[in-house]
Chains A and B, each alone.
Chain A
Amino acid sequence: MDAAELPGAAMVIAATISIVSLRKVAASVVDPEIPVLTIDDLGILRSVELDQGRVIVTITPTYSGCPAIGQIEDDIVTAFEKVGVEDVEVETVRFPAWSTDWISEDGHRKLSEFGTAPPVPEPDVLCPRCDASAPKLIARFGSTACKALMVCSSCGEPFDYFKQF
């Protein structure tokens, strides 16, 4: 269910929305750097809890210096505001550390369709455009901290590879 479809969005108060609906609101927030993935696909949404009318959303950053984390926090608060929930707290928890293993299967598929090779071990990376194996690594650090830059040895297209961590 889309956040906007929540019943009586404007008048509901946090206490009357079920945890499942609250989780859906938080889970609808997308990563600003990889807009095809939601924070749920990425596995950084750890929990959504209700504490005396206050919604507490817990997230774990992907990388230590992930510059998107502040934006994600703002986007979570905004997503709740849109359904009339104002009392929201976003907590960052660093234990256990996030790993690319937390990215869902759906997330892997979406990444591939987006043109980014999903996080598999480096020797197993396939070109997201033509599925050819053994691409060449151009730069270990790519367009964002979590990606490396590769080029396909078959079709010649350069592409981002989500590094396996």
Chain B
Amino acid sequence: MTNQITSTAPQGTSPADAGDRITTLLAHADDNMVLAQRLGELISNTAELEIDIALGNKALDHLGVARALYTHAGSTEGEGRTEDDLAMFRTERDYTNLLLVEQPNGDFAHTMVLQLFFDAYQMELWKDLSGSPDLTLGGIAAKALKEATYHLRFSSGWVIRLGDGTEESHHRVQDGVDALWRYTSEMFEGAAEKYRSAWTTSIEAAFVDANLEIPSDPYQRTGGRGGFHTEHLGFLLAEMQWMQRSYPGLQW
């Protein structure tokens, strides 16, 4: 049995266009792959069964999006690279995910702030890409948009509950915001600038309800899209890739 993703890429585009499209597909695939792996670390480790299941489901959604995008990138490239090749045999410098998604989970408040920042970004991204002339990408985005809607309800709900909760929960969630804010500008580099204003509106609305403050320190870190990462990604990839690297081609 073969399982092929039918390619519906627009015809007649130049190799340069195809190169750009592959770069973009891989960047979004890497974001979802890395976050899926991060969330996977929490399975059986959260304080409540419902949270455990919710985050496991969220990880699965991101993994599914990553698989579809890697497969599509591989078929667009046309050199026979599969989703496994792209996920398991590219190094830290090849990965172009956002620095945000590779950050460690921290405490629950910190994890929820990270999800909120990323979920609100993906809402805008998938809304935009669901109208892509590349119909396979459009289909992946349309599906991912529905999932992102659930993700955002979950993460914003928790950030508001924690921010507007006890003194301790408020303090922890504000700490998460202070630690992660520096990784948010990177989401809007280049053509992604168009997502910034809707994202900001969505975050500000949640912060009003949660009594949270946007940090006054303007410092921002970037580099992920160019393959320059924080120290955390190497460890994450080492754990994720060691099996395929030790036993290439190993299957379930």
Which one of A11-19, A25-33, A36-44, A62-70 contacts B? A62-70
Residues of B within 8 A of A141 (CB): 50, 53-54, 56-58, 150, 154
Q: Check A93 for interface membership: any CB of B closer than 8 A.
A: yes
Q: Tell me whether A50 is interfacial, beta carbon within 8 Å.
A: no
The docked-state distance in angstroms from the alpha carbon of A66 to that of B143 is 12
**Residue pair B1, A64 in contact (C-beta under 8 Å):** no
Interface pair B136/A64, CB less than 8 Å apart: no
Minimum CB–CB distance from B75 to chain A (whole Å) comes to 12
A155 CB within 8 Å of chain B: no
When chains A and B are docked, how far (Å) is the Cα of A165 from the Cα of B143?
A: 9
B135 touching A65 by the CB < 8 A rule?
A: no
Smallest beta-carbon distance A69→chain B, Å: 9
A95: nearest residue on chain B (CB-CB)?
B139
Interfacial chain B residues near A93, Cβ < 8 Å = 5-6, 139
CB distance from B198 to the nearest CB of A (A): 21
- State A91–B4 Cα separation when bound (angstroms): 5
Give chain B nearest CB distance to A67 CB in angstroms.
Answer: 7
- Interface locus among B63-71, B108-116, B166-174, B222-230: B63-71
CB-CB under 8 A from A96, the residues of chain B are: 139, 142
A67 to B68, CA, bound (A): 13
Q: Give bound CA distance, A97 to B65, whole Å.
A: 12
Size of the A side of the interface (Cβ < 8 Å), in residues, is 31
How many chain-B residues does the 8 Å CB contact rule pick out? 34
Kindly name the residue among A65, A88, A91, A96 whose own CB sees the greatest number of chain B CB atoms within 10 A: A65
Asked if B138 is an interface residue, CB under 8 A from chain A, the answer is: yes
Using A63-B143, A64-B65, A97-B139 as known contacts, say yes or no to A145 and B1 having CB atoms under 8 A apart: no
Q: Tell me what chain A mostly uses at the interface: helix, strand, loop, or mixed.
A: loop
Against A, the Cβ 8 Å flags (1 = close, 0 = not) of B87-120 are 0000000000000000000000000000000000
B61 touches which one: A65, A74, A140, A163 (CB < 8 A)? A65
Q: A88-B1, A94-B136, A94-B143 are in contact. Are A64 and B53 (CB under 8 A)?
A: no
User: Which residue of A is nearest B149, CB measured?
Assistant: A165
Which residues of chain B are near A4, meaning CB under 8 Å?
none
Which among A77, A92, A95, A140 is the interface contact of B153 at CB below 8 angstroms? A140
Whether a CB of chain A sits under 8 angstroms from the CB of B8 is yes
Known: A89-B2, A140-B154. A94 touches B54 (CB 8 A): no
User: Is there an interface contact between B1 and A73, defined as CB atoms closer than 8 Å?
Assistant: yes
Whole-angstrom distance between the Cβ of B125 and the nearest chain A Cβ: 14
| Interface residue ranges of A129-146 to B (CB < 8 Å) | 138-145
Give min CB distance, A65 to chain B, whole Å. Answer: 3
| Inter-chain contact A67/B60, CB cutoff 8 Å | yes
Check if B144 is an interface residue, CB within 8 A of chain A.
Answer: yes
B142 in contact with A139 (CB, 8 Å): no
Instruction: Determine how close the nearest CB of chain A comes to the CB of B122; give it in whole angstroms.
Output: 12
Q: Are B154 and A64 in contact (CB under 8 A)?
A: no
The answer to the question of B146 belonging to the interface, with a C-beta cut-off of 8 Å to chain A, is yes
Given contacts A141-B56, A149-B50, 6 further A-B contacts (CB under 8 A): A61-B143, A67-B60, A92-B4, A94-B68, A97-B143, A141-B57
A-B contact pairs, 16 of them (CB 8 A): A63-B61, A63-B64, A64-B65, A64-B140, A65-B65, A88-B1, A92-B6, A94-B143, A96-B142, A97-B139, A97-B140, A98-B143, A140-B154, A141-B54, A145-B60, A145-B61
